[in-house]
Each structure stands twice: as structure tokens, then as C-alpha cells.
Amino acid sequence: MADNPSADDPSRMTTVPNPVAVNISRAERIFEITWSSGAATKFSLDDLRSICDCALCRDEKEKREAQASAPRMLRVLGSAIRAEVASVSHIGRYALGVAWKDGHQSIYTYEFLFSKSLSE
């Protein structure tokens, strides 16, 4: 017996559609993905950047959390260039790669990005 019932029943598995378009509104600071299913997922550019889960960003988050408890430390709130997209590309057939203008590279799987459209 399997612990995960959907693993035995292919009809219960969720198929993630492919992205067919990405629209970046710099004026509204929105990153929108249109999926082959017709669904759309929107992120603010700041939110998209903040959910990057690469090793560098995880380390940065841990350091910020540790510094938050240090006396006399002031938190620096964002940088305009930090959340500006330079380019977007496909990473294989499973993810979108986002190059940020500050030189950082993020990879977001289709599954992760599409799951956000279901939670809206």
C-alpha cells in the first residue's frame, strides 16, 4: 500500500500546464505568467524576488534574522534595482529563470509558480 493515494491513481495527479507568456509591468511592478490552461499567476516583483530559495538567498535570510535581534541594527528596506528583472528564460522544461538587474539569478519551477495561482 502506498502512503500517497494519488501516487497510485494517475487521474488524481495534478498536471502543471506550461507557461505561454510572461508579462512584466515595470510601472505596476508586476510579474504575470499566463499558463496553457488559461490560468494566470501574478506576483509583485518584490514578492517574486523575496521568495527566491537559492542557497545564497537562504543564507541572506538567515543572516537578516540573526541580525534582527542584535542591538542598534537598522533593517535596510529593499533596493529599487534588487527587484528589477533584466530577463526571463526557460530552464529546461521545468522552470523559469529570472535574471535580476543586480546580477542575481533565480530559478522558479513551473509547479511552484502555478501552485501560487491556485492559492489566490
What is the reported pLDDT for 4? 42
How far is 65 from 83, CA to CA, in rounded Å? Answer: 20
What is the model's pTM?
A: 0.74
CA dihedral sign, ordered 91, 94, 98, 104? negative
What are the boundaries of each domain within the chain? 5-51+79-118
For 88, 94, 113, the CA distances from 119, given in Å and listed in that order, are 23, 20, 10
Max distance between CA atoms of the chain, in angstroms, equals 56
pLDDT of residue 12: 45
The answer as to CATH 3.10.450.40 being correct for domain 5-51+79-118 is: no
pLDDT at 9 > cutoff 50: no
